[in-house]
Every structure is written in C-alpha cells, then in structure tokens.
Structure 1
Amino acid sequence: MKLLFLGDIVGRSGRKALSDSAARLRRTLELDALLANAENASGGIGLNSKAAKELLALPVEALTSGNHIWKHKDIYNFFGETDRLLRPANYPEGAPGNGLGVFQTATGVPFAVLNLLGRTYMEAVDCPFARAEALLAALPQDVKVRIVDFHAEATSEKKAMGYHLDGRVSAVLGTHTHVQTNDPRILPGGTAYLTDVGMCGPTDSIIGMEARSIVGRFLNRLPVRFEVAKGPARLEGALCEIDHTTGRALSVRPWQGE
C-alpha cells in the first residue's frame, strides 16, 4: 500500500496547490491513499465548513487537524456531516467529531487514521498516550494499516510517541511546526516515523505567513495581525509504503512537490 500524508494546509494557496495536484499525484505516485492535515486551511488558522467541503471534494480519503480546529464555529456542526474529517482524539469527552476513522482503499484494503494532540508547550488536553492505547485496542484486528497524525510541538514528545506505538501502528507522522524534518526511519518494530511532514503553503513565507509581519514581531514584540503569504505554494508530506497484510512499514521518506 502506497500512501502520501501531506502536512498542514495553510490558507487559500495551500488549498489551491492541493486542488491542482491531488488527481495528478494519485496517478503519478500510484497512490492507494492520500491524506492531509487541514487545520490551517481557512485564512491560515482554523478550518471553516466551506473550505472543509472544498477539500473533501478532492480525491483524498481523509483530513486530520490539530489545536486550531475550533477557530471557526461552523465547523462544530460540520463534524456531524462527515466522518472523513478528524479532530485530535484526546480532547475531553463531549467535543464534536471523532479522532479515529477507518477508511478503505479502492482495492478494498481497510486502514485506520488516528489524530492525536501533544501536550508539551501546548494547551491542556487529555493524555495522547493513554488515548492512543484505548482507541487502538478497540480497532478490529483485520485493520492492519494504522496511520497516526501526532500534532505536537516538541520533537521529544513526537519521538516518544513513535517508540511507544512502535510495532502497533504502521506510521507515526508529526505535524504542527510547518517545517519538514529530515529524520525518516523505520523503528525496530516496523513503524515508519518522521518528526514533521511539513506544510502545504506559500514557499516564500515564515511557516506560511507574510515574513515582514513576523520579523517585526520579533523586533518590537508588539502584537500584529499575521496574514497568509502570497505567491506559489509547495506541497510537503511523507510518502510511505506499507505491507497491508502485516501493517509493517516498508519505507518512508520526506516528499515535496508543487
């Protein structure tokens, strides 16, 4: 099974880049599944229902998200309209939506996607390690391919999740920092790992935002409105090959395209 997981989609340019490329990527990379994190797809922060519908109309199996998913209030009810949009599973009970979904490739191979949120340098949520344990234990045994989007700030916490779930999931792929890392590896138990898959957004930017305003913030410490940068966007993600009969990863590498 060949799967491409794309990093945080940032604003309109990130959405357009995916819209222009999704069908071609599926064909040229011979993908069985295409996934993306969409938590910053609306104006660079959050995801509204209009953008969610636009992205779900593309040939993607599912969208994940992160700590900014609640920015636009209309997304609360939208979770009741689809099971293809996930929010971090370790928000407390009662939060709209689900953090775990089971999907299927065109050839009928089932695969699970688990969305988790880190706690180091992040807001207070339930323990992602404990929530992962509970949700994975409830998955049917025939769902061998299991992909984890760990939306977290600290590299140490991401690596800890990778080792914690090694041998029990197919891949632990980090999101949130918008900066693609070059540390792909297959852990001893057969789990693919990458600290951060990067972002889908403007190339000439600071993590997707206009550079001038962010530089100014560092210089004078005054509050400023961040705006999504203009210009061409680049897609970044992790390209994984997985043995669908065992769930073990065969390869993983950072991927970039336009």
Structure 2
Amino acid sequence: MKILFVGDVVGNVGLKTVETYLPQIKQKVKPQLTIVNGENANGGKGIKVDDYQRIQVAGADVVSGGNHIWDKREVLDFIDDPKKNILRPYNFSGDNVPGRGVIEKKVNQKKVYIINMQGTALMQPLDNPFLAFDKLLPTLDKDAVKFVDFHAETTSEKIATAKYLTGRVSAVVGTHTHVQTNDARVFDKKTAYLTDVGMTGSYDGILGVKDEPIITRFLTQRPTKFDVDEDGRMQIGFCVIDINDQTNYARSIKNYVISPDNQSFLTF
C-alpha cells in the first residue's frame, strides 16, 4: 500500500498549489490513500467547507488538522458530518469535543486508521499525546495500518513520539513547522518517520506568510499581523510511504518538494 501525505496547505495560494500539483503527483505515485493537512487553508488559520471541498476535489481522501482547526467558526457546521473526512487532533480534553481524531478507511479491503494528534511542547496544553496514544491504540484493530499526522512544534517531541510508537503504528509524519526536514527513515524496519513534511503554499514568503510583518516583529519585538503571501510562487511538500499489507510495517518513506527551484519530481 502506498500512502501519499501532503503538508500544511496555507491560504488560497496553497489551495491553488494543491489543485495544480496533486493530480500530477498522484498520477506518478499511484497511491491507494491520499491525506492532506488543511488546517491553514483559510487565510493561514483554519478551514471552511469550501476549502475542504477544494482539497477533496483535488484528490485528498482525508484532510487532517492541527492547532488552528477551530479558528474559523464555520468548521463547526461540517466537522461532525460523517460524510466529511476531516480530522482534528485526538487529544483535545473532554468527552464532547466536536469532530474526530481518528478516521477509519478501507483500502483494497485493508483497514486503515488515520490518526491526528497534537504535541504539547511549546504549544497549547492539550492532553498528553503519549498517554493519549496509550489509551487509543488498544481500541483499534491490531490487523490494520495506522498512519499518524503528529502536529507539533519541537523536533524532540516528534522524534520521541515516533520512537515510543515504533512497532505500534505504521507511520508517524510531523506537520506544523512548515519546513521539510531531511530525516525520512524507517525505525526498526517497522515505523516510517519524517520530522516535518513541509508546507504547501507560497515559496517566496516566510512559512507561507508575507516577509515584512515577521521581520518587523523580530526587529521590534512587538506584535504584528501576519498575512498569507497570496502572490508568492507555488511550492508543495509531501512524502510517499510504502507499507507491507501483510505486516502493516513500512518498507520505505521518501520525501519530496516541488518548487520553482526544484521540479525534479515532475521530470523523472
């Protein structure tokens, strides 16, 4: 089984990038499951139903979330719709949190769980993700593929989580920091890992937003309003994971970026 995972879609330029490149990527990769992180799709913070539908029409089977999932109140109008395959982090506190932290899909008669979990280091204080995994995983079918979008800030928490879950899930791929890392590997020939898959949006901004406000903030140490760089050139970060359907373990993981300076994926 091949799983294609696309990093954080940022703003309208990110949506245009997904619409432009995802069909081409899928034509080359031929994945059985495509997951896209969409929590920054609407103006860099949050997602509305139109954004979700654009990502889905472009080729996503599941749209995952993160710390900005609630930033647009309209998400509450569709996040509980069982026909909408959208995730929010599993480890929000309480029993009555809208939406789902896990989605189950059938891929060629094989059960696959897509799990969205959020880190807590330098982020809002959600429930401990390590303990949340301990609570969740025993409730899932053991004979199933388990993919984790781990939305977290620090590299140490991401690596520690993947090591903690080695042999218990098929893959742990990080999102949130928007810069793709160069550490794709498979732990113990079992669990695929990548610290961050990168982002989808402006190649010319800073993490998808305009340069000036961020530079001004560093210069002055005062709050500034961040705006998505909607006029930037397009980039898309993604990875491809090959999983053995018999063992549910990962065979390989490969990471890619398509940008104005790197079109190699489209030409080989």
Report if TM-score (shorter chain) is over 0.5: yes
Matched position secondary structure for 2:103: strand
Query: Which string of whole-angstrom CA distances, capped at 9 and with x for unpartnered residues, describes residues 25-63 of structure 1?
Result: 211112111111111000011112221222223321101
* Matching residue of 2:33: 33
Query: Which runs of no fewer than 5 residues in structure 1 stay unpaired?
Result: none
What does residue range 159-174 of structure 1 map to in structure 2 within 5 Å?
A: 159-174=159-174
Query: Which string of whole-angstrom CA distances, capped at 9 and with x for unpartnered residues, describes residues 81-129 of structure 1?
Result: 2341000000012211010011123x33321111000010000111111
Q: Report the TM-score, using the length of structure 1 for normalisation.
A: 0.95
CA distance in 1, matches of 2:206, 2:22: 24
* Matching residue of 2:60: 60
Q: Report the TM-score, using the length of structure 2 for normalisation.
A: 0.92
Contact 1:166–1:189 under 8 Å retained in 2 = no
List structure 1 runs of 4+ shifted beyond 3 angstroms.
Answer: none
Instruction: Give the counterpart letter for 2:254 in structure 1.
Output: R
Matched position secondary structure for 1:133: helix
CA distance in 2, matches of 1:6, 1:56: 12
* Matching residue of 1:231: 232
* 1:196 and 2:191 aligned: no
CA distance in 1, matches of 2:187, 2:216: 41
* 1:113 and 2:133 aligned: no
CA distance in 1, matches of 2:23, 2:10: 19
What does residue range 238-249 of structure 1 map to in structure 2 within 5 Å?
A: 238-249=239-250
Equivalenced residue count is 256
CA distance in 1, matches of 2:51, 2:3: 23
Residue 163 of structure 1, CA deviation: 0.6
* 1:74 and 2:74 aligned: yes
CA distance in 2, matches of 1:108, 1:159: 31
Contact 2:2–2:31 under 8 Å retained in 1 = yes
Matched position secondary structure for 2:27: helix
What does residue range 97-246 of structure 1 map to in structure 2 within 5 Å?
A: 97-105=99-107, 107-143=108-144, 145-188=145-188, 190-229=190-229, 230-246=231-247
What do you get for the CA RMSD once the two structures are aligned? Answer: 1.3
Contact 1:8–1:200 under 8 Å retained in 2 = yes
Contact 1:186–1:252 under 8 Å retained in 2 = yes
Residue 76 of structure 1, CA deviation: 1.4
